[in-house]
Structure 1
Amino acid sequence: MTSLGGVEMVDWKLAVATATRLVRPGPEVSREEARGIVAELRRHAKASEEHVREFTRLSAAGPEGRDTPVLVVDRPGWVRANVAGFRELLSPLLSKVEERRATVPGGAVIGAVGGKVTGVEVGMLLSFLSSRVLGQYETFAPATRELPGGAEGGGRLLLVAPNIVHVERELEVDPHDFRLWVCLHEETHRTQFTAVPWLRDHIRMEIQSFLEQTDIDPSTFLERLREAAQSLTGNKPGEAPAGEEAAAREERGSIVELVQTPAQREILSRLTAVMSLLEGHADYVMDGVGPQVVPSVSEIREKFQKRRASGAGRLDQALRKLLGLDAKLRQYRDGERFVRAVVDEVGMDGFNRVWTSPNTLPTKAEIAKPGEWVARVHRKAD
């Protein structure tokens, strides 16, 4: 008990242990099949580099792109990588909470218990997500011996082999085509960050600003949580939602969005626009390159879109909405529509002005109305 003062607010080791224990087993493959899948994914990741760079006309601005490792991982490996990323991003907020805890009588004991509880909760969340992610360009996590990163500050590209195999079997598509198709999407993310040096720090600063605005006063947080519960279950007695209020409630369905401060909503609006751009750009590139190198791309795209929209069942859909994953699906759709509209109007080089600086990133409103971004960035500059 004497060491409780140094206990972290989240027991990260317990989070990993919980997720690893709860994670679903992947599809059955022989050892020989597994080796072949890993080798093929690495080959496709390497081949995707040139395809994406040629199509997007973006190339690494420094050594970051050349030293970014490609890691083919299983579900527990994905969990460990993301715990490292969460720990890195959340450290300023957790330090702030630690300082507050030190002034509360019995805070050390409360913190130790709370860290265990939070560790289990984080582990349960990661267990749920670990069977759904096909790939990820991990931007912020520090390098470790088990999960290396770029030597010059670059990230790492994760490909979750069991999930890729599971989806290709579920969709009954050509496995070799599907694996390359997935790699094209994830390689686009790696290209975005390695070709645009300021992008990583910009997103990190936005996330840190969001966390700094978090109100750690328990009574205030509980009050917002109570309001969030009312929003999820309906209005207060005697009140009826109508018009814009009902639409806004439908839009703000996730836990994350419902406990925000007004300042956080502004930051999240900017982050949503950036993430819509990145995800939409990756989808656009994946479809643009696909017909040249993926023979069955039309079939894959059609089946994958149906799967992405439907979810796996009622419980899965409820969890997606509660965790904000439905917003992720909108980012793919709205972002891809934005990129396509801009490229159609001003060409790929014209679209690439979006990477000039944070000031040329689209706003959330411009994602919905691409012509406004073209007018602001192109016509004003011209």
Structure 2
Amino acid sequence: MTSLGGVEMVDWNLAVATATRLVRPGPEVSRDEARDVVTELRRHAKASEEHVRGFTRLTPPGEAGDTPVLVVDRPGWVRANVAGFRELLSPLLGKMRERRASIPGGSVLGTVGGKVTGVEVGMLLSFLSSRVLGQYETFAPASRELPAGPDGGGRLLLVAPNIVHVERELEVDPHDFRLWVCLHEETHRTQFTAVPWLRDHLRGEIQSFLGETEMDPSTLLERLREAVQSLTGSRPEGERGEGAEGGADDADEGTRGSFVELVQTPAQREILGRLTAVMSLLEGHADYVMDGVGPQVVPSVAEIREKFQQRRASGAGRLDQALRKLLGLDAKLRQYRDGERFVRAVCDEVGMDGFNRVWTSPNTLPTKAEIAKPADWIARVHRKTD
């Protein structure tokens, strides 16, 4: 994972080592219990294929749906995501590396900066690795340890220790909860395997967002410093956000938002609006499917849903809430809620087949405004047929 052609902007090996060292231990389980959890998750993942495809009426063509399902621990999730990040961020980091080369002493800056950034990336991944239950990796380079689908297709990750931790914390039926999680993640797998153009469209939008980044490494480091200060509350007095008034608590609320928001240009904000709409659609669709299939195959789905929603909303204390805001995870929670409302409203009005027109082409995807007003999407997409 190191570059032979020069020093990387991010020391990815160090990121993995840092995250692995800092990652919290999972819940205590015996060897037999761990083996049973892995076996059951794989069985539920397989069963979820039929449930999800029958409910959504989406069927992957040919071998497209044959992407691997991997049950991993927290370090395994870190390694998979570092590989994905490295591939996705490669154009941006290459661009910044070229700029760094023109700066006097740039190679030294690169060596030091790459290690510092590697540690920071590792710290963030260690935080996230204990919170993710499952993930469909859309951009997943294949390796011997981490296989991926054909032609650079994705892979489904189920993080076993996190699933066990949450089912115990919520005090819900573990077998029902594991199937419930698999239904959500299998929906994402079906979305990308049944809609062949979706992966390339999303990659193009992300690359456009990254391509609009016009900053040298020193500027990026300054932005990162601001982000860290907004998290720790160490921003010097007089440098609080525009909305801040009063004491320290108000200053925390007036910070400039997530790190993604800190690096946006006007063009990036436009692209991010489109990305937000797509992600709201994908997450809301997964929640809608999970709830739609749930009553048929998950007896305690109502209890699980209620307790899980409460957990999503509450966070785990002040530090957790600050990190969620910094990383943009609060926005992701809104995507679940807003997207699910959009999908439900459309399905109620035009049925599942009518909703599935959303997968026709990038032009039929909802805009950010249409996510909030489903009737506008229905009018635009269904107007000709009507």
Instruction: Please confirm whether the aligned pair reaches a TM-score higher than 0.5, indicating the same fold.
Output: yes
Which stretch of the first structure deviates more once superposed, 143-152 or 79-88?
Answer: 143-152
Q: Does the C-alpha gap of structure 1 residues 17 and 239 become closer, same or farther in structure 2, counting only changes over 3 Å?
A: closer
Task: Indicate conservation of the 8 Å contact 1:49/1:187, yes or no.
Answer: yes
Which stretch of the first structure deviates more once superposed, 251-260 or 6-15?
Answer: 251-260
Kindly indicate whether residue 26 of structure 2 is the aligned counterpart of residue 26 of structure 1.
Answer: yes
From 285, 290, 296, the counterpart of 2:294: 290
Deviation, 1:227, is 8.7
Deviation, 1:55, is 0.2
Q: Deviation per CA, 1:222-247, whole angstroms, max 9, x where unpaired?
A: 787799879x97997899759xxxxx
Aligned residue identity for 1:279: E
**Unmatched runs of 5 consecutive residues or more in structure 2:** 245-252
Aligned residue identity for 2:296: Q
Aligned residue identity for 2:119: V
**Partner in structure 1 of residue 249 of structure 2:** none
Which stretch of the first structure deviates more once superposed, 82-91 or 55-64?
Answer: 55-64
Q: Does the C-alpha gap of structure 1 residues 6 and 182 become closer, same or farther in structure 2, counting only changes over 3 Å?
A: same
TM-score, length of structure 2 as denominator length: 0.91
Aligned residue identity for 2:329: L
From 292, 307, 319, the counterpart of 2:311: 307
Task: Indicate conservation of the 8 Å contact 1:69/1:149, yes or no.
Answer: yes
**Partner in structure 2 of residue 197 of structure 1:** 196
Aligned residue identity for 1:98: R
SS of equivalent to 1:136: strand
**Partner in structure 2 of residue 171 of structure 1:** 170
Cα distance in structure 2, aligned partners of 1:239 and 1:83: 32
- Aligned pairs for 1:1-382 (under 5 A) are 6-65=6-65, 67-217=66-216, 241=243, 253-382=257-386
Q: Does the C-alpha gap of structure 1 residues 380 and 37 become closer, same or farther in structure 2, counting only changes over 3 Å?
A: same
TM-score, length of structure 1 as denominator length: 0.92
> Percent same amino acid among aligned pairs?
85
Q: Does the C-alpha gap of structure 1 residues 26 and 222 become closer, same or farther in structure 2, counting only changes over 3 Å?
A: closer
Task: Indicate conservation of the 8 Å contact 2:100/2:217, yes or no.
Answer: no
Q: Deviation per CA, 1:51-108, whole angstroms, max 9, x where unpaired?
A: 000000000023120x211100000000000000000000001111111112122111
**Unmatched runs of 5 consecutive residues or more in structure 1:** 243-248
Cα distance in structure 1, aligned partners of 2:182 and 2:149: 19
Task: Indicate conservation of the 8 Å contact 1:5/1:108, yes or no.
Answer: no
Deviation, 1:139, is 0.8
Aligned residue identity for 2:149: G
SS of equivalent to 2:70: strand
SS of equivalent to 1:308: helix
Task: Indicate conservation of the 8 Å contact 1:64/1:153, yes or no.
Answer: no
Q: Deviation per CA, 1:268-323, whole angstroms, max 9, x where unpaired?
A: 00000000000000000000000000000000000000000000111101110111
Cα distance in structure 1, aligned partners of 2:115 and 2:226: 26
Q: Does the C-alpha gap of structure 1 residues 222 and 98 become closer, same or farther in structure 2, counting only changes over 3 Å?
A: closer
